[in-house]
């Protein structure tokens, strides 16, 4: 089971395309780790959020801890992982667990808006930047294809068009 959980968290965190998470209720333990795998995280005003594994005596899977450490500031990680505190959505956003809080009925529409925005970015460049940002060792897109994408974006700008237009 631990191997499966590690594969799940690692796979979502390293997925080469945009991942936007819409959290419309509680996200505790593995649910919060899954949300932290997202490139953009929208949360509702309802719910509580935290990592409670330490309180119930469950050690964190290695990939889960990698995600938490990668996505959050060290003081927040210690507070979540070593104390097992639960937070409301406003505090969770202030701590960096989520990018924005919206009314409960706006979570999915807002997440879809952000997904469309991120999906419109150049895909090869997005994938390379995401891998480098998250410390990935593998680079599946080639440097040549990334350069071609960058040159095409620069050409569009010089022509007076948006860099990610067709």
For the whole model, what pTM was predicted? 0.80
- pLDDT value at residue 160: 75
Band the pLDDT of 144: cuts 50, 70, 90: low
Q: Cα–Cα distances in Å, from 13 out to 83, 145, 160?
A: 24, 23, 35
| pLDDT higher at 27 or 159 | 27
pLDDT for the residue numbered 153: 61
Domain boundaries, the chain: 2-118, 120-158
Instruction: Assign a CATH topology to domain 2-118.
Output: 2-enoyl-CoA Hydratase; Chain A, domain 1 (3.90.226)
Instruction: Report pLDDT digits (tens) over 74-126.
Output: 999 999 999 999 999 999 999 999 999 999 999 999 999 999 999 999 999 99
């Amino acid at each position: 089971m631990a191997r499966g959980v590690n594969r799940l968290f690692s796979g979502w965190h390293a997925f080469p395309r945009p991942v936007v998470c819409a959290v419309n209720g509680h996200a505790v333990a593995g649910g919060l780790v899954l949300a932290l795998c997202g490139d953009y995280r929208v949360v509702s005003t309802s719910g509580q959020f935290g990592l409670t594994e330490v309180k119930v005596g469950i050690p964190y899977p290695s990939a889960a801890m990698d995600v938490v450490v990668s996505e959050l500031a060290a003081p927040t990680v210690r507070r979540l992982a070593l104390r097992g505190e639960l937070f409301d959505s406003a505090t969770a956003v202030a701590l960096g667990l989520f990018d924005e809080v919206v009314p409960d009925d706006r979570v999915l529409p807002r997440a879809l808006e952000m997904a469309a925005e991120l999906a419109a970015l150049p895909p090869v460049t997005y994938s390379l930047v995401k891998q480098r940002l998250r410390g990935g060792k593998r680079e599946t897109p080639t440097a040549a294809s990334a350069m071609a994408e960058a040159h095409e974006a620069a050409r569009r700008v010089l022509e007076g068009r948006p860099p990610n237009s067709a």
